[in-house]
Amino acid sequence: MSLLLKASNGHLFLSSSIASMATCSSFCAQLPIHFRPIPIASSFPTNQPFKPFSAQASISPANDGGSPNTIGFLGLGIMGSPMAQNLIKSGCDVTVWNRTKSKCDPLISLGAKYKPSPEEVTAACDVTFAMLADPECAVEVACGKHGAASGMGPGKGYVDVSTVDGGTSKLICGHIKASGASFLEAPVSGSKKPAEDGQLIFLTAGDKSLYETVAPFLDIMGKSRFYLGEVGNGAAMKLIVNMIMGSMMATFSEGLLLSEKVGLDPNVLVEVVSEGAISAPMYSLKGPSMVKSLYPTAFPLKHQQKDMRLALGLAESVSQPTPIAAAANELYKVAKSHGLSDSDFSAVIEALKGKVQS
């Protein structure tokens, strides 16, 4: 893939070596703000002369070459805020919207533009990302009154990075494509910290050309990306990953409580687990706070339960037994019923404690 880099004097230069490095997010994180990767979009003038880069030139991210290069971002929660922030810090021209407007303010301070509806964001931008809580609000924001689809049209792209089921993703895709625009589903694996660090894993499916166009932006926000074919495949992959994660967290919780009941130090259990074949970063990261009954929210428990529910629906649709995930889902439901929806999903351990069960 090739990228165009641009100096403030309007000079464009093509760098395939920088382009190949730019596919690595660790490189992008080091990209000086004045070097902005510009994906070569189909609308970019192909006869644009490439002028040599001048090291003396003062460089600005402004794009005055007539090529659209504006990014919209809808949904500025735990994930959306740092993702949008990374785009802004990399020099992208970002316009934001969030249902609760105050969450836009820190991004506006960093240089983002603001529009008061999803429709106005997509009307103003070439590509719009959406990071929304659940299927219901992803549909509302994309297809509702003054929703994203109303501002879309030919040449534009919509990238839904929310975790939803395949049916929802196809519904949104249908509305977006009816406007003549392109659609990509791109749910992410990785939580608050990976979002802050630009280390997410994108699980994409849909229009391949849009995937290629937005790849440099995915590489700013993430460390790897998978293209999985038809819309629904990205959603399915994400739900399966989170089904495994939810079951792992539930059984880890049982282990912590059992170790304590038989007189072992659960902190030592965390250490032992981290040394062996079942080691996972999640256990070392969350175990020590779980032992202290602390659940600082990175991934809200209500979202993990939503993902278990959607994964079980996916399994049912193909008659695949998933008894472990079904049992784990019940635990998340109990935790929700005890007011833990907005705590981190590691609070599922509370559902196994006598005081919560009674």
Ligand X SMILES: NC(=O)C1=CN([C@@H]2O[C@H](COP(=O)(O)OP(=O)(O)OC[C@H]3O[C@@H](n4cnc5c(N)ncnc54)[C@H](OP(=O)(O)O)[C@@H]3O)[C@@H](O)[C@H]2O)C=CC1
What positions carry a catalytic annotation? 238
CA distances from 273 to 157, 244, 263, 278, 287 (A): 44, 17, 17, 6, 10
First to last CA, the chain: 59
| 234 contacts 117 by C-beta, under 8 angstroms | no
What's the CA gap between 266 and 259, in Å, rounded? 6
Rounded Cα distance, 117 and 125, in Å = 13
Q: What is the CA radius of gyration of the chain?
A: 22
Closest CB to ligand LL5AMS7Z among 185 and 207?
A: 185
300 interacts with ligand X by CB under 6 A:
yes
- State the greatest distance between any 2 C-alpha atoms of the chain, in Å, as a whole number: 74
Query: Total residues contacting ligand LL5AMS7Z (rule CB under 6 A)?
Result: 6
Closest CA to 350 of 290, 267, 265: 290
Query: Which residues lie below 8 Å from residue 224, measured CB to CB, with a gap of 6+?
Result: 201, 202
Does 253 participate in binding ligand LL5AMS7Z (rule CB under 6 A)?
no
Rank residues 14 and 244 by Cβ distance to ligand LL5AMS7Z and give the closer one.
Answer: 244
Least Å distance, CB 57 to ligand X, is: 39
Q: Which of 25, 122, 128, 189 binds ligand LL5AMS7Z (CB under 6 A)?
A: 189
**Total length of the chain:** 358
Distance of closest approach, residue 203 Cβ to ligand LL5AMS7Z, in angstroms: 10
Return the residues of window 228-247 that contact ligand LL5AMS7Z according to CB under 6 A: 242
Segment 80 to 139, residues that bind ligand X, using CB under 6 A: 80, 98-100, 103, 131-134, 137
- Say if CB 282 and CB 245 are below 8 A apart: yes
Q: Is residue 168 near ligand LL5AMS7Z by the rule CB under 6 A?
A: no
Site for ligand X (CB under 6 A): which residue of 37, 39, 72, 75?
A: 75
Which span (5-13, 65-73, 246-254, 297-305) binds ligand X, by CB under 6 A? Answer: 297-305
Residue numbers 296-325 binding ligand LL5AMS7Z by CB under 6 A: 299
Which one among 192, 227, 240, 271 touches ligand X, defined by CB under 6 A?
Answer: 192
Q: Is 163 a residue that touches ligand X (CB under 6 A)?
A: yes
Spatial separation of the C-alpha atoms in residues 282 and 155, rounded to whole Å: 40
Residues in contact with ligand X, counted by CB under 6 A, come to a total of 26
154 sits in which H/E element: none
- By CB under 6 A, name the one of 69, 95, 169, 191 that touches ligand LL5AMS7Z: 191
Tokens 């001048």 belong to 54
Angle between helices 266-275 and 281-291 (to 10 degrees): 180
Using CB under 6 A, list all residues that contact ligand X. Answer: 75-80, 98-100, 103, 131-134, 137, 140-141, 162-163, 188, 191-192, 298-300, 303
Which residues of the chain form contacts with ligand LL5AMS7Z (CB under 6 A)? 163, 189-191, 242, 299
